[in-house]
């Protein structure tokens, strides 16, 4: 993608879905030259608004069974805080063909704090932080149209994983991008990915329990999160520990 010098242009983060077998990362590759990041500003400083964007690669988890076994936490919570957007440290990745300023402008993220109501997988906690690429720092805005917006007050079910590499703070990423984001509305849990099932709230925990009871899919590879690492949560129906996990 070629850099544009048009001021105020809003580029987007594009979620490029790769298969599990491809071995792509399920958290955004914000520190990799493979992001194919581009910027919409010239190298000289400017006080005018500038839009920047990057390509983010996520794994494709074909069904709920795979998604459950790829997640360290599965929780229901309500967004109670949107923290000010931040930039990742400039040393987080290679510059490639970009200037230091251009690379730095693609590393903006925003953290959202959730008050946890239910934990279906993972250790109990009162709050949890969901991290998203995107936000505004100074005159630079990184927009993220690959995932639905989060707002204070939103009631959500989220599947979460820790970052694959060290990052500032305590943010967790939604498993597989939008695949790990489900909205709670009218007593239904509605996935952002269209071919996942919409479930009644009362049946959601049982669906997670059934997935864990079946044991992990054979093709999970390095994305498998064993029960020893992320046990059944306190709000989940009883699940025996499969030996294969």
User: Residue 175 sits in a domain of what CATH number?
Assistant: 2.40.50.120
Domain presence at residue 238: no
**Residue 95: band (very low, low, confident or very high) from pLDDT cuts 50, 70, 90:** low
Which residues have a Cβ under 8 Å from the Cβ of 243 and sit 6 or more positions away? none
- Give the residue-averaged pLDDT of 102-119: 87
Which residues have a Cβ under 8 Å from the Cβ of 117 and sit 6 or more positions away? 75, 76, 77, 78
Across 49-53, 99-103, 168-172, least confident range? 49-53
pLDDT in tens, 164-203: 888 889 999 999 999 999 999 999 999 999 999 999 999 9
What's the pLDDT score for residue 207? 97
Domain presence at residue 202: yes
Q: Is 107 left (phi over 0), alpha (psi -120 to 50) or beta?
A: alpha
The C-alpha atoms of residue 170 and residue 163 are separated, in whole angstroms, by 9
Listed in sequence order, the DSSP H helices in 5-108 are 64-69, 100-105
Across 116-125, 160-169, 220-229, least confident range? 160-169
Domain residues for 142?
A: 14-223
- Give the residue-averaged pLDDT of 207-220: 96
Domain presence at residue 244: no
Domain presence at residue 218: yes
Domain presence at residue 236: no
Domain presence at residue 8: no
Domain presence at residue 237: no
Domain presence at residue 3: no
What's the pLDDT score for residue 240? 55
Number of domains in the chain: 1
pLDDT in tens, 9-39: 233 333 322 233 233 456 554 433 222 223 3
């Amino acid at each position: 993608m070629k850099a544009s010098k048009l001021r105020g242009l809003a580029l987007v983060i594009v979620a490029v879905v790769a298969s599990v077998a491809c071995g792509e990362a399920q958290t955004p590759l914000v520190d990799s030259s493979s992001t194919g990041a581009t910027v919409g500003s010239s190298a000289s400083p400017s006080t005018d608004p500038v839009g920047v964007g990057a390509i983010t690669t996520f794994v494709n988890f074909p069904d709920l069974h795979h998604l459950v076994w790829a997640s360290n936490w599965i929780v229901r919570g309500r967004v109670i805080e949107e923290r000010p957007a931040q930039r990742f440290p400039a040393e987080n990745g290679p510059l490639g063909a970009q200037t230091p300023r251009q690379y730095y402008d693609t590393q903006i993220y925003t953290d959202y704090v959730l008050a946890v109501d239910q934990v279906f997988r993972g250790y109990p906690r009162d709050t949890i932080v969901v991290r998203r690429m995107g936000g505004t720092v100074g005159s630079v805005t990184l927009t993220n149209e690959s995932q639905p917006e989060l707002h204070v007050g939103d009631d959500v079910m989220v599947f979460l994983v820790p970052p694959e590499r060290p990052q500032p703070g305590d943010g967790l990423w939604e498993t597989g991008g939008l695949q790990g984001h489900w909205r709670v509305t009218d007593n239904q849990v509605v996935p952002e990915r269209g071919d996942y099932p919409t479930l009644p709230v009362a049946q959601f925990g049982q669906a997670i329990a059934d997935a864990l009871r079946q044991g992990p899919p054979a093709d999970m590879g390095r994305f498998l999160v064993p029960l020893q690492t992320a046990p059944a949560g306190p709000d989940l129906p009883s699940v025996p520990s499969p030996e294969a996990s």
